[in-house]
Structure 1
């Protein structure tokens, strides 16, 4: 019980330290940004307001305070459960995040599952047919995905499926004038297809290559060779030995790389004009909306930390099981 309490306390302290460092670095980087918050707030019409109005706006946005003072003010509000007010959307940051976060979680979740399933299956096939033409094709495909920029792939998919074949929408999460939940299931699938495909393709390569190496190690193990020598078919060995010993490591790796998946969603949501949290971070940064940027950054850090925590827990369980065996 004491070990469990100590582990929980250690994890909580790590989370608090991580969130504090993320917030501090975000504030510092934003203060160094060449963007003018007043110009961004006015949409470039900075000369359309008087100096008195500009001074009033500077005071309302707390730009007359130092970075440290603004940071302490934001942290004080956070302790009271407030994330501030977005100057970009003219509403509380919590309301903006509540609207954008579910779409991002849906996009990232579907991409996470698809990249795990397809990456694992392709890695499994490559290992089973090691050295063959299928293995070489899958490996080259994996290295191509590693080198492929997500924004370029997104534009390529739009050009092919949206413009060339007219099979999918060009952008957005729903038809113009509708929300995501107002559309039909078929329309949801069409609007999610290309963003999910982009994130899946750019994030499945590590799973493919890792699974291939892990499966090869399992196939060369003594217990698998013993099983094959006693007449077990390859399909039975794969089902009862290979998958059992290679799937959990792939899942652990997938949780550990959730930060890369979230980073890819920033670009994918921007290219596809998908109104998720990633697009909100980009807009907040360009508009110097500190409150919204801090709120989005905080949620992003929590998401990445959760993924790494689950990966660590599963890794510990996997090592425990291996030691028991």
Structure 2
């Protein structure tokens, strides 16, 4: 019964979240000063007014906002997210094609930020007060204060323009056919955007892990274990890692939403053809179907990440399982 109640509650929260995001996204798009018809045909277009009205009628732009939303909601329930005004294809197709690029970028940045942040936090805590600890804290504070687009431009200028180590942009080489593109080509083009996007999570995880491990290493049971003759390595592995794993996992999975927020800027800087660049193009063109579709998809993705985090809590600490120990 507890599992059924949990699944029902989780499903209700997910549907409520998606519905609220859809309504809010539609309201914001409708209030946008960008005219979707003008963005579609171009400001300098010589198209006749009759042709423009036919296009507006085709896209439903002449209907009241409430009617357009209800029409969209009805079609969405039947699996039709509508057609993108920007890309002239179904929204589901655009999301699927672009997400194939974005998921590789998001996962690589997510893993990189988690591993580096966790390792840096542990190292800083064990070397508390040393020059290394101060250097890690300073570096993390700089990363946390640096905007994604500024850091991306800096990386692009240094490593692509000045040093020439990495390509300037795109996800694959422009001088190769699709069948000639190798896995290394894709990884090579993804390194700089991935590193840029990873700065969103490294500093928070590192600083939080450092503080948490310092508190644990000065607790009574650690002092007792140290008195029994356990080494620092044994103390960290046996007692420290499990206690700092839960807050680290919380921050790591919570960074999903930040990654979706930063991916639009990172992909725009590096001309990476992912979901973030599609979101930017849709916003500039007031492409309501694509904007709402991406917002709904990102909400589901972030919700799934938080759900996975809750499941991992029970695996790492069995006391947190349903029906078990409650603090």
Separation in 1 of the partners of 2:194 and 2:179? 18
Structure 1 position 310, deviation (Å): 2.6
Which aligned segments of 4 or more residues in structure 1 are displaced greater than 4 angstroms?
177-182, 315-320, 322-325
CA deviation after TM superposition for structure 1 residue 30, in Å: 0.6
Query: Where does 1:102-121 land on structure 2 (aligned, <5 Å)?
Result: 102-121=100-119
Corresponding position: 1:26 with 2:13: no
User: Please, what TM-score do these two structures have when normalized by structure 1?
Assistant: 0.94
Question: How big is the shift at 1:43?
Answer: 2.8
Change (3 A) 1:235 1:181: farther
- SS of the aligned residue for 1:274 comes to coil
Shift of 1:108: 0.7
Q: How does 1:1-325 map to 2 (within 5 A)?
A: 2-46=1-45, 48-176=46-174, 178=176, 182-315=180-313, 320-321=318-319, 323=325
TM-score by length of 2: 0.93
Q: Distance in 2 between matches of 1:209 and 1:41?
A: 46
Measured at CA, do residues 179 and 276 of structure 1 come closer, stay the same or move farther in structure 2, by a change above 3 Å?
farther
SS where residue 91 of structure 1 aligns?
A: coil
* Shift of residue 124, structure 1, vs aligned partner: 0.3
Identify unmatched segments of 5+ residues in structure 2: none
Give, in angstroms, the shift of residue 309 of structure 1. 2.5
Measure the CA separation in 2 of the matches of 1:73 and 1:257: 34
Compared with structure 1, are the counterparts of its residues 61 and 324 closer, same or farther at alpha carbon in structure 2 (3 Å cutoff)?
closer
CA shift, 1:7, in A, is: 1.3
Quote the Cα distance in structure 2 between the aligned partners of 1:91 and 1:36. Answer: 20
Contact 1:173–1:180, Cα closer than 8 Å, also in 2: no
Give the superposition deviation at 1:181: 7.6
Contact 1:195-1:269 within 8 A present in 2 as well: yes
Cα RMSD (Å) of the superposition?
A: 1.9
* Unpaired runs of at least 5, structure 1: none
- What is the CA-CA distance between 1:252 and the residue it aligns to? 2.2
